[in-house]
Amino acid sequence: MEFFHPKYLPTWILILLMKIGALVPFRMQVFLGKNMGKLFYPLFSTVRKVATINIQKCFPEKNKEQVSALVKKHFESIGVSFFETANAYYGRDEKIQKLLTIESEHYLTDAMKDDRGVIILCSHFMPLMLSSRALSLKHTIASIYRPQNNRLFDKIMVKGLTNGGGIMIKNSDTKAMIKAIKNALPIWYAPDQDLGTKGTVFAPLFGIQAATISATSRLAKGGNTAVIPYSFTRTDEGYNMSFSAPLENYPSGDLVHDASQTNQILEAQIRKNPEQYLWIHRRFKTRPEGEKNFYADI
């Protein structure tokens, strides 16, 4: 009965819209989503400014007009992400499977055959939740997630991603992550957000010192864990699902070196599809001592 409280009415409406949205064909989802994003662009000035600052900092070679154009494209991707999240929670397996182009999956399957611990290293691109669902179509994985403040939406998210047999582990449950790795259960992990100074080191991202979670190399300690970069981005025809070779000499024992290595991988992925990355996150809010807050004037 808790979720029938009036405060959850907007969430129930959102759930209904997502269920309907998941039924819409892919090309129409993209068309509608991009136009939704165009409507969002003038309405959300604060997050628009955050995205603009991030893109200006990461692409200093771009002029004002180029930055503005990329921010507008990013908002279009935000609009499409509504449908991508709807597909993740409510889309049919057959529909999602038809949209996938898969590259170099052998890196993942070979590591799983070896009965190794596996960390599937992903990033906060707009189809993030769909990337987890797509993995679960063929593989049993554990997705590391941050619980939502909205308890109803959190329940829907967990249910949507576990219906196909996936497992969800809270990002605060380090013991469960370690247990999964030891039991050769691959974990899907996106460590590319700024969570403050606790458990982080400063490492360069686009030449900027960024507070970077060090848990990736800590989780990989032990010598029998493959860290496999994973990219999932939207194309004109659907989604490209791509895996890369396991990181070599990782972890190295140097947390800054390891964080720099994963940031380099992230940067390369972003440069291929910059409009699809989560630029509205304050990725550089934690600064080295003495440096000015990038977002202080917002």
Torsion angle in degrees (nearest 10) through CA of 147, 150, 152, 154: -20
Torsion angle in degrees (nearest 10) through CA of 34, 266, 70, 65: 180
291, part of any domain: no
Region class of 238: left (phi > 0), else alpha (psi between -120 and 50), else beta: left
The model's pTM is: 0.92
Contact partners, residue 296, CB within 8 Å, separation at least 6: none
pLDDT computed for residue 221 by the predictor: 85
pLDDT level of residue 297 (50, 70, 90 thresholds): confident
Residues 91-118: pLDDT tens digits?
A: 999 999 999 999 999 999 999 988 889 9
Q: Print the domain residue range for 179.
A: 2-276
Q: Where are the beta strands (DSSP E) in 165-278?
A: 167-170, 187-189, 200-205, 208-213, 225-234, 239-243
pLDDT of 1 above 70: no
288, part of any domain: no
281, part of any domain: no
Residues 39-76: pLDDT tens digits?
A: 999 999 999 999 999 999 999 999 999 999 999 999 99
Average pLDDT, the chain: 94
31, part of any domain: yes
283, part of any domain: no
194, part of any domain: yes
Q: What angle do CA 272, 188, 237 make, to 5 degrees?
A: 40
% of the chain with per-residue pLDDT over 70: 99
pLDDT computed for residue 2 by the predictor: 77
What is the tally of structural domains in the chain?
A: 1
52, part of any domain: yes
Q: Which residues, in sequence order, are bridge partners of residue 100?
A: 239
Residues 253-265: pLDDT tens digits?
A: 999 999 999 999 9
Residues 29-47: pLDDT tens digits?
A: 999 999 999 999 999 999 9
195, part of any domain: yes
